[in-house]
Structure 1
Amino acid sequence: MLVTNLREIPLRTLTDEPTTLTQLAGDKVVLLVNVASKCGLTPQYTGLVELQQTYGPKGFTVVGFPCNQFMGQEPGSAEEIAEFCAATYGVDFPLLEKDDVNGADRHPIYEELTKVADAAGETGDIQWNFEKFLIGRDGAVLGRFRPRTEPKDPAVTGAIEAAL
């Protein structure tokens, strides 16, 4: 059980502005995803953009959380990440500053998220890039989807639709 409201944990945008999920997304349902530009799963950006286009008008947003902890697959600066995402995939959802999702320097939001079980009942460290967490309007985690679960997988879209 989460002891912290995830929507109020301090974050920083990719442009280094202080924020929270509430400030960034208002009362929208959020799909928080740790992302990377040079990963075999990077094409999942296409599905994430499609989710944003489909569900954004209904009170939903994707939020990308760049991370370089998995074989150095997000090596760029904030400017390079923003340019790659916009030019290559048309990303128009918010991106946060690059930070750790595992280990001693894990961002506080991931301290909480890693306590949440996936569909198989497993908690713990983020397995790889593109692990996804669906966060409800009240800050509760509604689903954890492992990296190989595509953004448009029925488990993900069904959970989004139920949350909306």
Structure 2
Amino acid sequence: MTISATPDDQTWFTQFRMGLWPTFGDNVKFPRDEKSVDQFFRQMTPDTGEFDVPVITSALVAALAESGPASLVSHSQGGIPGWFIAMASENVESVIAIEPGTFVFPEGELPDVIPTKYPVPVQGIAVPADRFEVLTRKPIAIYFGDNIPSEPSEVPAWDFWRGVLELRFPRCAGVAD
């Protein structure tokens, strides 16, 4: 795909809820020295192609067929294919989802889209009930970090994460905030 030469690194500072660039939030524990901030920005990489969930899923399922049983750890946008990999591979014994970008739901139980200030709305993904059932038989731990507002925010990235929490947590019996 075509990669824009426009830098957008500072957006990730806000997306990861470290503060509003260039100001750190009061409770953020990230080191604030120049070298640490430089290393943070060096981890940013552009999207270099289409985000193709079926291709990612089939590749990881094939890798798990070679490696054998594993716990699958996913993060953010990678949480989306993580759910599909866990449903498709018997070798995924458990899932640890760190701030997954969305969740899957059985067809017919998809919640309403959650409007946010983010350019992309927060919405779940419908999957066949029998595939969802496979996922429910595996231990799953879901983790979210700090600084996610409980009320709508004017900061689009923060409002996105509020929407993701709203999408998931009210629908989980026994899940604590």
**Shared fold by TM > 0.5?**
no
Q: Which has the higher relative contact order, 1 or 2, with Cα contacts under 8 A spaced 6 or more apart?
A: 1
Normalized against structure 2, the TM-score is what?
0.24
